[in-house]
Structure 1
Amino acid sequence: MVRVQLTGAKETMLATLWGRALDSRSAQPILGDSAADEALGRLDYDFGKLMKPSMALSVALRAKSIDAWARAALEAQPGATVLHLGCGLDTRVFRLDPPPETRWFDVDFPEIAELRHQLWPELDERPGYRMIASSVTELGWLDEVPADRPVVVVAEGLTMYLRETEIEALIRRIVERFPSGEFVFDLFSKLGIKAQKLNPVVRKSGSTLYWGLDDSRELERYGLELVDEHNATQFASEEDLPKVGVVPRLQLKALRWFPAVNRMGRIVRCRF
C-alpha cells in the first residue's frame, strides 16, 4: 500500500481518481478506466473524504468528453507531441493508448511524479512516454520537449487553479514554441469561481480557484482560435445517455433552463 499525504489542489486529484475507479466498477461504465480502479486498491487514503460516490458520474463524463476531443486531435495529427498538463493521477495515456511514434509527456509536481511511478512503474518502459517532474507554471520544463512537431495540449482540472497571468504565460509560451497544434481543456466561468465553496472537493481539500472565463473566444488574446466548446449538458454523448440513469438525465435537462449554471464548467477545443 502507498500512503498518500496531499493537501490543497494536489489532493483533489484523488477525488477524480476515485470517481473514475467507481465508474469502472459500474454495470455500464461511461469511461471504463480499469487502470484507475487498479491504482485505487494500492493507495492508503480515505477516498470518501472529498466527495460522494454519486459525483463519479460527472467525473467520468467530463473525462470522456476531453478524451474524445484529444483522440480526434491525435488522429488529425499522427505522430504529434502530447503535453498532458497537471496530469495528476489521470490514466489518460492508457485510455488513449497512442502509438509509439507519438511523444507523450505527462507534467506535474515532483511528488506527483513519484506517486505515479509507484502506481504505474510500467510507464517508465512505455515507448514514446516520459514524465516531467515540474510545476506547469515553471516554464523551463518546456525546454526538455522537442518542438519539431505539432502539439496536442490536454489539461483537466488545472486551469481554474492557476492565476490569469500564469495561464496566459503558459499558453503563449507553448504557442510560440511549437509550429502548430490543438488545446483541449476544461475551464470555469467567473460564476463558477465565485461559487467555488459550493464544490465539496474544493471546499474540503482547502483549495482555492482563481481563473474563470465567461466568453471562450477571449482565449484569442493568448493566440488560440476557438474550434468548439461543450457545456455541462453536452458532456454526455447520445450513446452515454442511456447509461446515466433517469434522475441524472432529468438533471441534465433541467440545467438547460439555467444557462449561467450550465456554463459554470465547460470544455474547449482550440487550435493555433
Structure 2
Amino acid sequence: MLTPRFPRRCMKQHWQWTNAPSTAPIKLQPPASIHRRMTMSLQAYPIRNVSDTAHWVAIYRAMESERPDALFSDPLARRLGGKRGEAIVKALPRGSVLSWAMTVRTVLLDEMVMRCIRNGVATVLNLAAGLDARPYRLDLPSSLRWLHVDMPDMIDYFREHTRAATPRCSLELVTADLRDAEARKQLLARAAEFGPVVVISEGLLVYLSSEQVADLARDLHTMACAKWWLFDLASPQLLKFTPQRWNRILLAGQAPFLFAPPEGTDFFLPHGWREAEFHSTWEASWRLQRTMSGAWLWKLLSRLQSPARREVMRRMSGCVMLENIVNPSLTA
C-alpha cells in the first residue's frame, strides 16, 4: 500500500543550513515547523490503507464498551485500536458522533453469528477480520473452529496485542491475500474441512469492486462448504450521504467506498446466494437506543413519504444473512 502524500509545502525543504563560518563543521538543524506540519499532514490523511479502518472501528467498539449502558463488552478494543484508531476518529468530521452506526452493526452481526452457531455451524470463516475480537468476547462453544483471516501485518499486530488473552473457542490466525485466487482457493478448502461454515465479511465488501464481490461470492458458494454468509451492505443512497471530506480521506488512503449495488441483495442471486435475513441499521438503531443525531426529525419526515420511498430509506444500510442456494439455476 502507498503511504499518504504530505502537502507540497512539507516536501520542499526539511532541513536548514546553519549560518556557521566556512571553517566550522556543517550542522543540520530541523526547522521548528516540521513537526507541526507533519502532524497536520497526519490529521489530513489519517487513513493510510484499508487495514487502518480496523483501528478506526476498534475505537468505536471501545467507546461503546466504556458506556455505563454498553450493549457489549470488548475489553481488547481500546488496546487494539491504539493511537492510530484514536487519530482517525479525531480527524474525521464528527468522527466520534458517528459511533452509533458501528455499534449497531456490531450488535446485529453478533446476534446473527450466535443464531448460526445455535443452528449447527461448526466453523466460522472471518474474512479480512482485522481487529475483530469476537472469539474473545462472545459466549462461544469451545468446540467451535474460528478462522481469523487477514494480511500478514494485520495478523502479526493482532497476535501481539491479544497474546495475554484467551479465546473462548478454537481460534486459528490465518494469513491470506484474498486478491490471490490460488490463496483464496486454499483458504476455502481449509475452511470446508469442518462444516457447516458461516462466513463473515464485516466491513469488507464496501471496499471491493462489483467484479471482486462477484468472484468472492462464487468461490464461497462452490468451495467453502458455507451455509450462511454475514456482512454489512450499503446502498447507493448511503454513499451519496457520505461527507465529501470523508471521501477525500478514504481516497487518500486508497480505501474509497465502492460496492453499493442498486439491486441490493439480489446482486448475489446469480452467484448462488439469496437473502435469508436483512436487518435495517435505521430500525435497529431505535431498538437498541443508538440513534443518530437528529433521528427524530428523519423519522417525522419519513411519515410524509410514500411506502416505496420509506422502504428505500429502510434498506439504505443494513446487515445481511445470505443462505447458500444448492442449485443457483433455480433463480434464473
Structure 1 residues 24-79: Cα deviation after superposition (integer angstroms, max 9, x where no partner) = 1112112332221343467686242236211122211111011111110111114x
Using the aligned pairs only, state the percent identity: 21
5 Å matches for 1:42-121?
46-47=87-88, 48-50=90-92, 52-78=95-121, 80-121=122-163
Corresponding residue SS for 1:98: coil
Which residue of structure 2 aligns with residue 212 of structure 1? 260
CA contact (8 A) 1:107 1:136 kept: no
| Residue among 250, 270, 273 paired with 1:224 | 273
Q: Tell me, yes or no, if structure 1 residue 236 matches structure 2 residue 285.
A: yes
Corresponding residue SS for 1:236: helix
Corresponding residue SS for 2:199: strand
CA distance in 2, matches of 1:266, 1:44: 24
CA contact (8 A) 2:136 2:168 kept: no
Backbone CA RMSD of aligned residues: 2.9
CA contact (8 A) 1:255 1:261 kept: no
Structure 1 residues 158-199: Cα deviation after superposition (integer angstroms, max 9, x where no partner) = 101011221112121122124451111111113334555547
Give the aligned length. Answer: 264
Distance 1:252 1:268, change over 3 A: farther
Distance 1:245 1:55, change over 3 A: closer
Corresponding residue SS for 1:53: coil
Which residue of structure 2 aligns with residue 166 of structure 1? 212
CA distance in 2, matches of 1:184, 1:91: 16
Higher radius of gyration, 1 or 2: 2
Q: Tell me, yes or no, if structure 1 residue 151 matches structure 2 residue 197.
A: yes
| Structure 1 residue ranges without an equivalent (≥5) | none
Distance 1:112 1:172, change over 3 A: same
Which residue of structure 1 aligns with residue 172 of structure 2? 130
CA contact (8 A) 1:65 1:236 kept: no
CA distance in 2, matches of 1:42, 1:229: 34
If the length of structure 2 is used for normalisation, what is the TM-score? 0.70
Corresponding residue SS for 1:29: coil
